[in-house]
Amino acid sequence: MKKKPTSVLYGLFCYFCILFSCDFGYGQKRIVVKGTIVVSNSGKGLEGVLVQLKKTTSSTYTNRKGNFFLEDISKGFAVLELFLEGYISKNIPIKFKEGEELDLGKIELFEDNTKEQLFTTIAISDDELSEDEIGGSDNITGLLQASKDVFLRTAAFNFGQARFKVRGYDSREGTVLLNGVEMNKIIDGRPQWSNWGGLNTVLRNQTVSRGIAVSDNSFGGLLGVTNFSTRASEYRSGYSLSLAATNGSYKNRVMVSYFTGLQKNGWAFAISASQRSAQSATMEGTTYNAKAVFFAVEKELNAKHSLNFTFILTPNRRGKSSPNTQEVYDLRGTKYNAYWGFQEGEKRNSRLKEIVEPIFMLNHYWLKNESTTVDFSISYQFGHIGNSRLGYFNASNPDPTYYKKLPSYNLRLPGNLDYAGAFLSLKEFKRNGQIDWRNIYQTNATTQYANYYLYEDRNEDNTLALNTKIDKRINPNLNALLGISYTKLKSLNYAKVLDVFGENGFVDLDGFALGAARQNDLNNKNRTVLVGDAFSYKYEVLVSKLKLFSQVEYASNKTELTGTLGYEQTNYQRKGLFRNGAYADSSFGLGTKKSFNDFSMKGSGLYKFSGRHLLALNLGYLNKAPSIKNTFANIRSNHNFSSNLKSETKITGDFSYRYRAPGIKARFTGYYTQFSNAIENYFVFAQGLRGDASDFVGQTLTGIKKKHVGVEFGLEAQVSSSIKLTAVAAIGQFVYANNPHLYLESDQFKGVESDFGIAYLKNYRLGGTPQNAYSVGFEYRDPAYWWYSINANLLTHNYLTISPLLRTNNFFLDKDGVPFVNENTQNQISQEDVKGLLSQERFDENFLVNLVGGKSWKIKGTYLGLFASINNVLGAVYKTGGFEQSRKANYKELKEDKELELPLFGPKYWYGNGTSYYLILSVYF
């Protein structure tokens, strides 16, 4: 059906009416007690506080702004009890008369620092990996850590270790803000957790909105918005020190902080620093070296104006671990990591990820009047992200798991099984099987030339962001917001030589190409590169982004309604600094500018039958420009855009029923989300293209439609004052909903040749997350300040990430366009033959038991806390993710490989950590 333009206009008119305070007139209801509950140090409204009259059944919860309304209360004296986990409960005696309206105004709740709930969360978010490879195990749990919702808390603390993604969403669906400024990286749209990792104490002031529910700070994505506030005045004064030991991503952590709080002279200072380190963490050879420094200063100029300056520097460098084939895990165990080797007795990891991106931010808070606030901020971030790896030219692949080095290679010819060779390879791999640094040095010394070198793919972003937000309360029930932000980014990307292992350097050539295409930079042919030089590729992306968002909220004691509109303009332009030999005409200088204009809207409604029963509905229609990574088909080599480039459209809706009674909290939600016009772009080496070609190709999958549908359930039952039971379930189905289009781009496949047609993906499951998860928990909290909890979790329906290339016509057609022949039947291959090879692997379900406990003491004004957790007590071994290799890209090649007892190019997997512990000792004074 075609919408009439007039009705849209009318809708917009109404919307702006609300925005610009056409007063609706609010029907008076008999409110007996009302008030606003705020956090003690920040003065921010606190949502979800249980407000109840003792010895009655009258109770309610505060809304997002911290407001509560209680009515129909019998006259006389009563005690109003305020309760929220993580805060010190408060009892307020009140006295009131019939028909009287009692406004309690602002009531402060204090944080309960004796509970170390947050530490577990941080253990997980530190783990956050954002591998660039296919099916990379990026994690979104960081987004959920501060949630008060039992479902999301369980998802973060208990499911997170198995790479559970809420509703199957990628982490780019979550928006992370620092004082209202968006921190998601423009390159891939994902929040870069390392940029504030280790600053747990100072990033405790968070505002979290989940899903597409309303946020005061940004339009947000499907996973919601997390805003960290770093106003120096909001920190409670004092010193704190904590020491942690773990066997997870790192071994040790030291964290110290000192806050002044708002002093009488109007100044507030906050300083915090931490260090996390490991020479080798859970996975072999994964070093961890992270420091964090935080500094914030606020000056309250007068009652209306306040300025806050924040500086964050979190240099983080850690060794990565490799995904491996099952053959490798079977030989070396699930802790095996191919990226390291001994160098002169020390473990050296060849793949380090380093992030140093300091943030400078200035915020201006202006309380214009009782009902209007204006926030303005300017932020600048620079620095670099480097991912190192070994490069080699005209020398043997240094990867110890290179397929020719494994026993399977000796057994690849069914008619000529070389058992002797396989035995030698097996012995060699089991005994040595790591990077042979000595050989690397020796080789370079032998050839007097850097056949081996260490380099990093380096990204240097310079981001300037301006942000302003006007928040106006039109009347007690109506609130309007307008936010504008402008971001300018210059992203420089190149490969940088880090080490040439003793030798002179090497010539910057593409070893796999011929002729002029060998030159990575035609402007500087046959250039010898040395440590510190750029080589292989070098380009900048110039980005500007303008965002507008406006929101109207209406709240009454029964109903809350919100409407939000968003507009985003995105401009991308590539500037090549190298003239690539294979793309002499389309690689150097400025490319064409690409602009996207995207409108989004969402709305939500909440209806309270009573304080106990609530119905909530959220609907959204979102458009988003593709990330830089997906906009360009082969950004390292040329200006070319991905084919069928369009903004991604998301249509989403969820419906929840919530039950909240003293002692019991429950939520049941059903959701449905459809992504369309999505683009995915990544690189693979494939054999069997167009019959028999092989090449390193950029794959772009365009026009992807995905469907995420499911239900969520969470229940929290306070059985007694010290015992709490929880139950959580997530049952979802995340699938490809259409057959998108696949393009390959390389020197060989250009223009028409790059079109590989339709990829038959419909109804394949999306990989990278368990689609179903269940949890039950028991918590005991002793009045003597100690507590423990135990959780049992079952995660199922986690699938292998499939390779789209294997699902194109290329898979079953020979070079001449005729299907391959089944060697057994001598007939053309049938649908059955193909299906057998392309069925999607479902990982075994896994059962995880986690234990958490803690105790706290107060000794003469000093708080001492001890917290301990053991994850995966039973030591379950399980796959958290994996991806199909595209190397055997057609029926013939794949069949040959799959029929082997030990396939050479089987899927690569990640395994979960085994049993891990976490121990924290903290002191406050």
Partner 1 sequence: MGIKKIKIKMKKKIVIWYCIIGISINSCVDDRNFSTPIVNCVEPELEVTNTIAQIKEMAGFGVVEFTNDFIISGYVVSSDVSGNIYKTISIQDAPENPTAAIRIAIDQTNTYTKYPVGRKLFVKLKGLSIGYNRGSLEIGKAIGTTIERIPSLELHKHFFRSCEDVQITPKKVAISEINNNMTDMLIALENVQFASKELGASYANANNTNSEDRVVVQLSENCGFQSEINLRNSGFSNFRNQQLPEGKGEIIGVLNKYYSEYQLLIRNTEDVVFTEERCEEASNLQATVSFSELKEMYKGKLVEFGIDTEYVFEGYVISSDVEGNFSEKIVVQDAIENPTGGLQVLVDEELIYEKYEVGDKVLLKLNRLYMDEIEGVLTIGYPKKETIGEITKDDFQNFIINTNANFEIVPREVSLVDLDKMNLQNTLVKINGLQLIANEVGKAFTYYSGTTSAVRQLETCGVFSRIEIKTNGKATFSNEKFPTGNGSIVGVLFGENSKLQIQVRNLEDIFFTNPFEDCPVVEPKIMITEIADPENSTTARFIELYNAGDEVMVLTGWKLNKYLNGANSISGIPIKLTGLRIEPKSFLTIANVGFESVFNKIPNVVTTYITGNGDDVYELVDANGNVQDVYGKVGIDGTGAIWEYVDGKAIRKKNVTEPNAEFDISEWEVFSKVKGSRQNAPQDFNPGVR
Residues that bind partner 1 (CB under 8 A): 239, 241, 254, 256, 258, 271, 273-275, 277-279, 287-289, 291, 293, 317-319, 343-344, 346, 348-349, 352, 394-396, 420-421, 424-425, 427-428, 437-438, 441-443, 445-447, 451, 501-502, 511, 514-515, 860, 862, 923, 925
Query: From CA 417, how far away is CA 179, in angstroms rounded?
Result: 64
Question: How crowded is residue 379: how many other Cβ atoms within 10 Å of its Cβ?
Answer: 22
Q: Which is nearer to partner 1, 393 or 788 (CB)?
A: 393
Q: Which is nearer to partner 1, 396 or 643 (CB)?
A: 396
C-alpha triplet 128, 133, 134: angle, nearest 5°: 105
Query: From CA 923, how far away is CA 921, in angstroms rounded?
Result: 7
Q: Which is nearer to partner 1, 500 or 759 (CB)?
A: 500
- To which residue do tokens 């995966």 refer? 872
Query: From CA 576, how far away is CA 587, in angstroms rounded?
Result: 5
Interacting residues of 393 by C-beta distance below 8 A, sequence separation 6+:
450, 451, 453, 506, 509, 511
Q: What is the DSSP string of 656-708?
A: EEEEEETTEEEEEEEEEEEEEEEEEEEEEEEEEETTTEEEEEEEEEEEEEEEE
Q: Which is nearer to partner 1, 426 or 792 (CB)?
A: 426
Query: Shortest gap between Cβ of 438 and partner 1 (angstroms)?
Result: 5
Query: Shortest gap between Cβ of 351 and partner 1 (angstroms)?
Result: 11
| Residue 894 near residue 884, CB atoms below 8 Å | no
The CA-to-CA distance between both ends of the chain, in Å, stands at: 65
Q: Which is nearer to partner 1, 30 or 860 (CB)?
A: 860
Query: Shortest gap between Cβ of 240 and partner 1 (angstroms)?
Result: 8
Interacting residues of 384 by C-beta distance below 8 A, sequence separation 6+:
354, 355, 356, 357, 458, 459, 460, 461
DSSP class of residue 158 equals: I
Q: Which is nearer to partner 1, 33 or 904 (CB)?
A: 904
Query: Shortest gap between Cβ of 291 and partner 1 (angstroms)?
Result: 6
Q: Which is nearer to partner 1, 194 or 642 (CB)?
A: 194
Query: Shortest gap between Cβ of 273 and partner 1 (angstroms)?
Result: 4
Query: From CA 705, how far away is CA 677, in angstroms rounded?
Result: 6
Query: Shortest gap between Cβ of 394 and partner 1 (angstroms)?
Result: 7
Torsion on CA atoms 324, 328, 334, 336, rounded to nearest 10? -80
Distances 463 to 184, 364, 386, 659, 749 between C-alpha atoms, Å: 11, 19, 17, 44, 35
Q: Which is nearer to partner 1, 274 or 477 (CB)?
A: 274
| Residue 856 near residue 864, CB atoms below 8 Å | yes
Q: Which is nearer to partner 1, 441 or 780 (CB)?
A: 441
Q: Which is nearer to partner 1, 380 or 512 (CB)?
A: 512
DSSP class of residue 903 equals: -
| Residue 596 near residue 569, CB atoms below 8 Å | yes
Query: Shortest gap between Cβ of 343 and partner 1 (angstroms)?
Result: 5
| Residue 567 near residue 79, CB atoms below 8 Å | no
Structure tokens at 875: 């030591």
Using alpha carbons, select from 504, 828, 487, 888 the residue that is nearest to residue 688: 888
Query: Shortest gap between Cβ of 456 and partner 1 (angstroms)?
Result: 11
Q: Which is nearer to partner 1, 255 or 829 (CB)?
A: 255
Query: Shortest gap between Cβ of 788 and partner 1 (angstroms)?
Result: 29
Q: Which is nearer to partner 1, 343 or 571 (CB)?
A: 343
Query: From CA 116, how far away is CA 783, in angstroms rounded?
Result: 16
Using alpha carbons, select from 534, 600, 615 the residue that is nearest to residue 565: 600
Query: Shortest gap between Cβ of 445 and partner 1 (angstroms)?
Result: 4
Query: Shortest gap between Cβ of 277 and partner 1 (angstroms)?
Result: 4
Query: Shortest gap between Cβ of 497 and partner 1 (angstroms)?
Result: 14
Q: Which is nearer to partner 1, 511 or 589 (CB)?
A: 511
Strands 723-736, 102-109: pairing kind = unpaired
Query: Shortest gap between Cβ of 250 and partner 1 (angstroms)?
Result: 9
